[in-house]
């Protein structure tokens, strides 16, 4: 893929995408970064990647393109982001996370059939967007609850005098957990969210879509401004509101 040409600093790209996702560490961690930096041959859309069939890759292309659609710049599908996502899951995810991701693809498609009476690929752009927005809110609530549980676990046992205040602080997550599961969710009232709960599948999809797009040639040169190095040194460049950011360099 064009993301593998070595012309951009992927560590910086991961840092920026992490910031877009609220500072949460990526699923895959250092293994994801290592896989990004490996020199690989181009992955054609019709090529199977690991357990991902051509249809699976096309499905991921549509998910990514809904998140990052074509506007005045090409969208995620044009950057072959689906193949990137499949490659990263295959090369950098642990087996348990690979299963969550693959099961998540099925859950997303099942939710689309239930909500829109059509598969995700066959749904209209508006229907796809509405579904993914719902899943994004669900993933945010779930991730916040997991982070709160991990912070509490790291802090250690709560003194008896502080338990009431701590319980009230945690109550802000409970209403969403007690509600009927949102489309595509399997997080019901009987599922306890703990510090050891896995990542939400839609967060995996979203972070890989963002990373794949903004480290691709299209994302780097069309959605951002890119100047091949070596170039002229400009210590201070005037920024005008609305201008796209500069792409990082290797």
Q: Is residue 247 part of a domain?
A: no
- For 24-38, the pLDDT digits (tens) are 566 765 555 555 555
Q: Is residue 202 part of a domain?
A: yes
Q: Is residue 165 part of a domain?
A: yes
Based on the structure, what is the number of domains in the chain? 1
pTM: 0.68
Q: Is residue 105 part of a domain?
A: yes
Q: Is residue 236 part of a domain?
A: no
Check residues 59 and 229 and name the one with the higher pLDDT.
Answer: 59
pLDDT at 176 over 50: no
Is residue 218 classed exposed, middle or buried when 0-12, 13-18 and 19+ CB atoms within 10 A define those classes? Answer: buried
Q: Is residue 234 part of a domain?
A: no
For the CA atoms of the chain, what is the radius of gyration? 20
pLDDT at 11 over 60: no
pLDDT at 174: 46
- For 108-165, the pLDDT digits (tens) are 999 999 999 999 999 999 999 999 999 999 999 999 999 899 898 888 876 665 555 5
Helices vs strands, H then E, count in the chain: 10, 0
pLDDT at 245: 72
pLDDT at 17 over 70: no
Q: Is residue 245 part of a domain?
A: no
- For 67-108, the pLDDT digits (tens) are 999 888 889 999 999 999 999 999 889 999 999 999 999 999
Which residue, 244, 245, 227, 234, is CA-closest to 7? Answer: 227
For residue 199, give both structure tokens: 């990542």
Range of the domain at 188: 2-223
Q: Is residue 240 part of a domain?
A: no
């Amino acid at each position: 893929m064009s993301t593998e040409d070595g012309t951009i600093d992927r560590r910086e790209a991961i840092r920026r995408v992490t910031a877009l996702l609220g500072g949460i560490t990526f699923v895959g961690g250092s293994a994801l970064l290592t896989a990004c930096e490996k020199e690989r041959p181009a992955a054609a859309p019709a090529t199977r990647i690991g357990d991902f069939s051509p249809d699976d890759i096309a499905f991921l292309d549509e998910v990514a393109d809904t998140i990052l659609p074509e506007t005045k710049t090409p969208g995620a599908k044009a950057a072959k982001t689906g193949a990137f996502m499949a490659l990263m899951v295959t090369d950098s995810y642990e087996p348990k996370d690979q299963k969550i991701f693959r099961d998540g693809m099925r859950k997303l498609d099942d939710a689309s059939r239930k909500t829109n009476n059509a598969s995700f690929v066959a749904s209209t752009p508006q229907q796809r967007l509405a579904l993914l927005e719902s899943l994004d809110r669900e993933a945010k609530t779930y991730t916040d609850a997991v982070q709160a549980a991990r912070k509490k676990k790291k802090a250690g046992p709560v003194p008896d005098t502080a338990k009431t205040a701590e319980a009230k602080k945690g109550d802000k997550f409970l209403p969403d957990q007690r509600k009927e599961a949102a489309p595509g969710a399997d997080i019901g009232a009987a599922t306890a969210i703990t510090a050891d709960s896995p990542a939400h599948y839609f967060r995996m999809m979203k972070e890989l879509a963002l990373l794949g797009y903004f480290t691709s040639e299209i994302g780097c040169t069309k959605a951002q401004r890119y100047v091949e190095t070596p170039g002229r040194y400009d210590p201070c460049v005037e920024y005008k509101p609305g201008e796209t950011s500069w792409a990082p360099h290797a």
